[in-house]
Amino acid sequence: MAGAACARALVDRGWQVKLLDIAKDPCAGASGVPVGVVSCHASPDDNPLSQLTRAGLQATIAFAKAHLIEGQDWSACGVLERRIADSKHPKKPWQEPAEDSVWYSHVTLAKHEQLQQAGLSADASSDLWQPKGAWIKPLALVRALLSSDDILFLGLHEVESMQKSPATGEWVLRIKHHIAIPGMGSSHTYTSESAPHVVLATGAHTPEFLNQVLYEPDMGLHPIAGQVSWGLQDDSDSQELPQFAVNGHGSFVAHVPTVDGNAWYTGSTFDRHQSQLTATEEAHAHNRQRLSELLPAVSDTLAHQWNDQAQIKAWNGVRCASVNRLPKLGPLDEQRLPGLHMLSAMGSRGLTLALLCAQVVADRMEGKTPTLPEALLQAMQCELPEA
Q: Does residue 113 sit in the same domain as residue 240?
A: yes
pLDDT at 122: 79
Could you tell me which residues come within 8 angstroms of residue 318 by beta carbon, excluding any fewer than 6 positions away? 29, 30, 203, 204, 223, 224, 225, 226, 274, 275, 276, 277
Q: Are 110 and 155 in contact (CB under 8 A)?
A: no
Q: Does residue 176 sit in the same domain as residue 254?
A: no
Q: For residues 192 and 186, give the distance between their C-alpha atoms in angstroms, rounded to a whole number.
A: 20
pLDDT at 250: 93
Q: Does residue 360 sit in the same domain as residue 233?
A: no
Q: Hey, what amino acid is at 344?
A: S
Angle between helices 138-145 and 2-11 (to 10 degrees): 30
Asked, as a colleague might, if the bond just before 292 is cis with ω within 30 of 0, I would say no
Q: For residues 175 and 178, give the distance between their C-alpha atoms in angstroms, rounded to a whole number.
A: 10
For residue 259, give Cα distances in angstroms to 143, 176, 262, 313.
Answer: 18, 35, 8, 15
Q: For residues 17 and 121, give the distance between their C-alpha atoms in angstroms, rounded to a whole number.
A: 51
Q: Does residue 254 sit in the same domain as residue 336?
A: no
Give the domain CATH number at 311: 3.30.9.10
Q: For residues 52 and 255, give the distance between their C-alpha atoms in angstroms, rounded to a whole number.
A: 28
Could you tell me which residues come within 8 angstroms of residue 331 by beta carbon, excluding any fewer than 6 positions away? 337, 338, 340, 341, 364, 382
Q: Which of 321, 350, 369 is the last residue of a domain?
A: 321
Q: Does residue 210 sit in the same domain as residue 228?
A: no
| Inside any domain, residue 230 | yes
State how many domains the chain has.
2
Q: Does residue 123 sit in the same domain as residue 82?
A: yes
Q: Are strands 79-81 and 245-247 parallel, antiparallel or unpaired?
A: parallel
Could you tell me which residues come within 8 angstroms of residue 148 by beta carbon, excluding any fewer than 6 positions away? 7, 8, 11
Main-chain dihedrals φ then ψ at residue 79, nearest 5 degrees: -135, 130
| Inside any domain, residue 45 | no
Give the domain CATH number at 149: 3.50.50.60
Q: Does residue 217 sit in the same domain as residue 231?
A: no
Q: Does residue 227 sit in the same domain as residue 317?
A: yes
Q: For residues 159 and 157, give the distance between their C-alpha atoms in angstroms, rounded to a whole number.
A: 6
Per-residue pLDDT of the chain (387 residues; tens, 9 = 90+): 999 999 999 999 999 999 999 999 999 999 999 999 999 999 999 999 999 999 999 999 999 999 999 999 999 999 999 998 766 667 788 888 999 999 999 999 999 999 999 999 877 578 999 999 999 999 999 999 999 999 999 999 999 999 999 999 999 999 999 777 777 777 789 999 999 999 999 999 999 999 999 999 999 999 999 999 999 999 889 999 999 999 998 999 999 999 999 999 999 998 887 877 788 999 999 999 999 999 999 999 999 999 998 999 999 999 999 999 999 999 999 999 999 999 999 999 999 999 999 999 999 999 999 999 999 999 999 988 775
Q: Does residue 228 sit in the same domain as residue 317?
A: yes
- Its domain, for residue 282, covers 70-132+223-321
Selection from 6, 36, 13, 340 nearest residue 198 by Cα: 340
| Inside any domain, residue 265 | yes
DSSP class of residue 385 equals P
Q: Does residue 127 sit in the same domain as residue 152?
A: no
Q: Which of 291, 321, 351 is the last residue of a domain?
A: 321
Q: What is the pTM of this model?
A: 0.94
| Inside any domain, residue 22 | yes
Q: Which of 302, 321, 340 is the last residue of a domain?
A: 321
Q: Does residue 166 sit in the same domain as residue 216?
A: yes
| Inside any domain, residue 387 | no
For residue 121, give Cα distances in angstroms to 49, 125, 178, 240, 288.
Answer: 29, 7, 56, 15, 20
Residues in the chain: 387
Q: Does residue 244 sit in the same domain as residue 309?
A: yes
pLDDT at 387: 58
Q: For residues 274 and 249, give the distance between their C-alpha atoms in angstroms, rounded to a whole number.
A: 20
